[in-house]
Amino acid sequence: MSTARSEPPTEAALVERIALLEERKAAIAAEQSEAVLAFAIAHAESQTAAGDVDPEALERSIAAQVGLACRVSPTEGRRRVRIARDLHAGHTRVRELFAAGRLSEYQTATIVAATAHLSPAERAEVDQELADRRVEALGVRRIHDLTRSLAAQVAPEKFTARCRAARTGRRVSVRPAADGMADLTAHLPVEEAVACYAALAAAVNEVAVRPEPVTRGRGQILADTLVERLTGQATARDVNIEIQVLVPVEALIDPDSPLPAQIAGHGPVPVELLTTGGGRRTWRRLITRDGVVIGGDSRSRLFTGRLAALIRARDGHRCREPYCDAPIRHIDHIRRWKDGGRTEFTNGRGLCAFHNHVRETAGWTVEIADGVVTTTTPTGAEHLSRICPGRPRRSEVRRSTDAARWRSRTRRHAGWTSAGGHDRTVRARRRPQPAP
């Protein structure tokens, strides 16, 4: 730390420091990757020693624990586990550059992903070529292209098989974006994607040769044509939609309430923008308090209909587990149905397919108390997620049978947030581990 009287560092010294810190970031990432691999091996050994384990369930459990420890999604956790594993299976030179801070985490991950389908021996060939060509001096795009073409040269049949397998992963997804927009993405075989784009681009020419003046930009014409052709409507604005609108309970009582309405899962949108088209529109109102949907009960064993819609909306249409942003695929009984858990609003939570499976894996437990869901991993780390609206009053906390646990949790955690039902919070408390 510099004192007030000392000279401020020169610009050159600052740039040097930035460069040094960048190197250290990469070196620390390399060290973390070593720890990820060591944990994966140790956990696999301890679980296998304890009895028969389904390898897929074991991998899910490892990925989920690494994800929680790194505060990232389980998908990212799984990616990190695989990178750590493959780095130690052929990538000797790349691993050295990574540990020395000369290849960044992103550059290293790009190389490992592009050679994931190779055997360790084939990977070692690519690894040597990359080092000879001074891979650390290239940008990420060129690293990606070079690694892929080297991998194709080393194992041409595997390259073809990889491309063929990738085609089975074609899909379309929609993601909310800022300012009342959303991104519709199609992951397609390259020739089909190019054909789609060419068809849209031809529409721009059709508009240009019409006698009426062109009032839209090229991008706007492309986007409008996409909507018109997919929906079969005459114009893009005539869209038929069912909109779930989250209405603050205050707005029901006071019509002049300034609290905004929200489109479930997509954030706030000015209502007047949605009412300018000529399409058919259904509105479904979900009432909220403090940004959290409040509502219903059911005797059914499954979460269906309105109750499922309420839970999905409360959870913001994203998986409830900490750091996971995957879309909800299942409504899970927090306390299992077979353990007497009821199909009701406070016992339901939205989970992605991954987390719905991982909770059933040996060593994982899920409990609910005072509206807080505690997920305990096989190593004893606990992760909390608040499910119910509002913060329990102090008096309720003290009266609760779990008061001591609650107090220790709330002391350790700086505070609960309450934005849009996404108030996930986490604290990792490690139980003492038996000596190895």
Can you give the binding site for Zn ion, defined by CB under 5 A?
A: 319, 321, 324, 326, 352, 355
Alpha helix (H) residue ranges in 55-189 = 55-70, 74-87, 92-99, 105-114, 120-132, 140-154, 156-167
Contact call for residues 35 and 70 (beta carbons, < 8 A): no
309/352 with CB nearer Zn ion: 352
207/326 with CB nearer Zn ion: 326
Please count the other Cβ atoms lying within 10 Å of the Cβ belonging to residue 195.
12
Q: What is the DSSP string of 23-48?
A: HHHHHHHHHHHHHHHHHHHHHHHHHH
30/64 with CB nearer Zn ion: 64
- CA distances 160 to 169, 188, 194, 204, Å, are 15, 16, 20, 36
Q: How far is the CB of 356 from Zn ion (least distance, A)?
A: 8
Look at the chain and count its residues: 436
Backbone φ, ψ for residue 134 (5° rounding): 50, 60
302/353 with CB nearer Zn ion: 353
DSSP class of residue 224 equals H
Please count the other Cβ atoms lying within 10 Å of the Cβ belonging to residue 264.
23
Q: How far is the CB of 12 from Zn ion (least distance, A)?
A: 47
Q: How far is the CB of 33 from Zn ion (least distance, A)?
A: 23
118/351 with CB nearer Zn ion: 351
Q: How far is the CB of 357 from Zn ion (least distance, A)?
A: 10
- CA distances 54 to 36, 60, 76, 362, 377, Å, are 20, 10, 21, 10, 17
Q: How far is the CB of 77 from Zn ion (least distance, A)?
A: 11
Token digits of residue 29: 């990432």
- CA distances 133 to 58, 93, 248, 275, 393, Å, are 38, 12, 60, 58, 64
* CA–CA separation, 206 and 229 (whole Å): 14
Q: How far is the CB of 294 from Zn ion (least distance, A)?
A: 24
45/360 with CB nearer Zn ion: 360
* CA–CA separation, 59 and 40 (whole Å): 8
78/91 with CB nearer Zn ion: 78
103/319 with CB nearer Zn ion: 319
Q: How far is the CB of 359 from Zn ion (least distance, A)?
A: 10
Q: How far is the CB of 321 from Zn ion (least distance, A)?
A: 4
Instruction: Give residue 264's identity as a one-letter amino acid code.
Output: A
